[in-house]
A and B are shown apart, each in its own frame.
Chain A
Amino acid sequence: MHAQAAAGPLAMSGPPDVAVIKAGQLVRQATGGDLEAFEELVRRLQRQVYGFAFQHLRDFAEAQDLTQEIFVKLYRNLARFDSSRPFEPWFWKLATNTTINYRRKRVPAPTDQELDQAAEPAGKSQHDPTLVDALAQLDPAYRLPILLHYYADLSLEQVAASLGVTLPAVKSRLHRARAILRNSLAELDESSR
């Protein structure tokens, strides 16, 4: 279910299977040096990747920077992609590793004040600002599996492969993450009353 859903956002229209083939074709063409195919691939993925980067970093400029880095890394690593396997899990593993390294190298842990400032313009574009705020307070170790599973629509197995951990570890992290989010939402709801 998730594997098909993961391919869904790649397509503007048409059934999921066709979308998978189209994405695979674009990757093959891009691997052969077709820049137009790569541009189309970026066009289709950019919203999802930018959203993932923004939900993780909570800063528009940093999210743009990270998104760009993910796509440049994708281009440089296209030759390593095994076209007999699905593209999405491979891509999201690359995106996750890039995100982890990016955060480790370049982004200091944001202060609460910075988070509030960053959340201000985001709140206007988000339809669930309470959840966005709760997500922002979540430890990155818990936020990444949440974003990969619920936001990027990867299956539990694909999340495990992307993070390089076991399936039970992913389940455990997701349960813990959701419990923390649930508590944060309850606190935020109480404080807003």
Chain B
Amino acid sequence: MTKVPADQPGGLACVRARVLIESYVDGDLAATDPDLASRMKLHLAGCEDCRRQHEQAVSLPFRLKALRAPVPPASLLGNVMNAVRPARVESRRAWTLLIPEAALVAFIVWYLSGLEGLASVASGTVSDLQVLLNWGVGAAQPPSIPVADVFLLAALIALAITAAYHLSILSRMGAPSLRERRRA
């Protein structure tokens, strides 16, 4: 059991009283140990040094609350908004990459003239392949390819190449880090 110093006010040593000051100020000590809180009150009444510490402890929360915030720099808001905006702009820019593909698809659809055109192209392709096969085994003359089909083939090849290229770009585009955005 702790020895109570009889010569100290409230029977409480200063070193012990100072550890309890914050708990006493908040009212926690009175709630958990009313007897100790009473002794603390007596100690503060009889000890000038601890009373000064108590006064400091009472005023501290008010002083902390009264601390004023420094004025933020005028550029802060703009910097935040600039750091936030690029993500949307970049995603919009990414979509513009697909404009050539869209143009090529539009051309092909226009050329095929819908489903009927698609069906005729499919049957034509099959017959062309048969002619090519016969030509390969020496049973027929080399096939004649219409100029329009050459355009279609070129458009399909261009579409495949540009789509592959743009997809590779888009797959590499991750969300840039804050540091990268700041550098930008």
Complex CA distance for A175 and B26, rounded to whole angstroms: 9
Q: Which of B56, B63, B70, B75 contacts A128 (CB 8 A)?
A: B63
Asked whether any CB of chain A lies closer than 8 Å to the CB of B120, the reply is: no
Contact B56 A185 (CB under 8 A): yes
Asked whether any CB of chain B lies closer than 8 Å to the CB of A127, the reply is: yes
* Least Cβ–Cβ distance between A77 and chain B, in angstroms: 12
Asked whether any CB of chain A lies closer than 8 Å to the CB of B139, the reply is: no
Asked whether any CB of chain B lies closer than 8 Å to the CB of A125, the reply is: yes
User: Could you say which residues of chain A place their CB within 8 Å of the CB of B178?
Assistant: 68-69, 72
Contact A47 B56 (CB under 8 A): no
Contact A68 B79 (CB under 8 A): yes
Contact A127 B68 (CB under 8 A): yes
Contact A72 B83 (CB under 8 A): yes
Complex CA distance for A131 and B73, rounded to whole angstroms: 23
* Least Cβ–Cβ distance between B112 and chain A, in angstroms: 38
Contact B64 A50 (CB under 8 A): no
Contact B72 A50 (CB under 8 A): yes
User: Could you say which residues of chain A place their CB within 8 Å of the CB of B72?
Assistant: 46-47, 50, 64, 67
Contact A39 B77 (CB under 8 A): yes
Residues 116-166 of A contacting B (Cβ, < 8 Å): 122, 125-128, 131-132, 135, 146, 150-151, 153
B6-26 contact mask (Cβ, 8 Å, vs A): 1 or 0: 000000000000110111001
User: Could you say which residues of chain A place their CB within 8 Å of the CB of B52?
Assistant: 186
Total interface residues on B, CB under 8 Å, equals 34
Contact B57 A178 (CB under 8 A): yes
Q: Which of B57, B65, B70, B75 contacts A122 (CB 8 A)?
A: B70
B54-90 contact mask (Cβ, 8 Å, vs A): 1 or 0: 0011001101111111111101110111011100000
Asked whether any CB of chain A lies closer than 8 Å to the CB of B53, the reply is: yes
Contact A131 B77 (CB under 8 A): no
Q: Which of B18, B69, B70 contacts A60 (CB 8 A)?
A: B70
Complex CA distance for A131 and B69, rounded to whole angstroms: 13
* Least Cβ–Cβ distance between A134 and chain B, in angstroms: 10
Residues 102-147 of B contacting A (Cβ, < 8 Å): none
Residues 12-67 of A contacting B (Cβ, < 8 Å): 35, 38-39, 42-43, 46-48, 50-52, 54-55, 60, 63-64, 67
Which residues of B are in contact with A by a Cβ distance under 8 Å? 18-19, 21-23, 26, 28, 52-53, 56-57, 60-61, 63-73, 75-77, 79-81, 83-85, 178
Which residues of A are in contact with B by a Cβ distance under 8 Å? 35, 38-39, 42-43, 46-48, 50-52, 54-55, 60, 63-64, 67-69, 71-72, 75, 122, 125-128, 131-132, 135, 146, 150-151, 153, 171, 174-176, 178-179, 181-182, 185-186
